[in-house]
Amino acid sequence: MNDNSKTPVYGGSLTREQFLYYEHRIVAKLILKGMNYDEILKECTDENLFQYPSTVSYKLITRACYNRLTFTGDNRLVDIIANSTTSTSKLALLYAMMCQNLLVRDFMIDVIGEKFQSRVLSFDKTDVNHFFVQLSGRVDSVSTWSDSTIGKIKSVLIKCLAETGYLNTIRSTELNPINADDELIQLIRDRGDYEFLCAFNEI
């Protein structure tokens, strides 16, 4: 694992802090310009960069994006998210989510990575249900979540898979064999997150 001082958590914040690719891409570009959070929030709000009908949710969304993008403290990751091709930057954002949220990390490694390694690419909601049964049995905080919260998180995870190309749609029943860009894979290796590689169809 990397030696970042921030500690990832089993967070249920996925219910509101979802994949948000478009917003992360914008915030990543502003981070690379050397702007701090307050400057980014002002820029996003004043210019309505997210193109929302109202600016009410800007503070929450901008903070969520900023925290996720800066969690690793590695601007190489921010650069890939900001400037790489859409497919590569989406996978990089997924990696950023895995670094920040242990639930996303475990799901991608224990469910998706295991399927890639075993070459069993079938996928349906029973895989997600089984994952949460196991997770609830070993993580006290997860066991206290309501059925509604878990249901929303399940939905977010499946949408993330569709957004990043693992699934063609949220209703797909077979995983696509992901082929991540060498730059992203090397970054993951450089950061010492070798156990993450299986989630990106790498050994």
CA distance 164 to 196: 16
- In 10 A of CB 120, how many CB atoms? 11
Report residue 53 as tokens: 């009908």
| Separation between Cα atoms, residue 109 and residue 86, nearest integer Å | 23
* Residue 5 confidence (pLDDT) above 50: no
Interhelix angle 125-138/147-163, rounded to 10 degrees, is 130
Rounded to an integer, the average pLDDT of 132-145 is 92
pLDDT of the residue at 161: 98
Exposure b/e, 82-99, CB count within 10 A at least 16 = b: bebeeebbbbbbbbbbbb
In tens, the pLDDT along 145-168 reads 999 999 999 999 999 999 999 999
**Closest C-alpha among 195, 198, 180, 166 to residue 80:** 180
Mean pLDDT, residues 91-119 taken together:
97
* Alpha-carbon dihedral sign for residues 196, 198, 201, 203: positive
**Residues 47-104 pLDDT 10s:** 999 999 988 999 999 999 999 999 999 999 999 999 999 999 999 999 999 999 999 9
C-beta neighbour count of 34 within 10 angstroms = 7
Quote the CA–CA distance of 131 and 88 in Å, as a whole number.
Answer: 26
Q: At residue 43, does pLDDT exceed 70?
A: yes
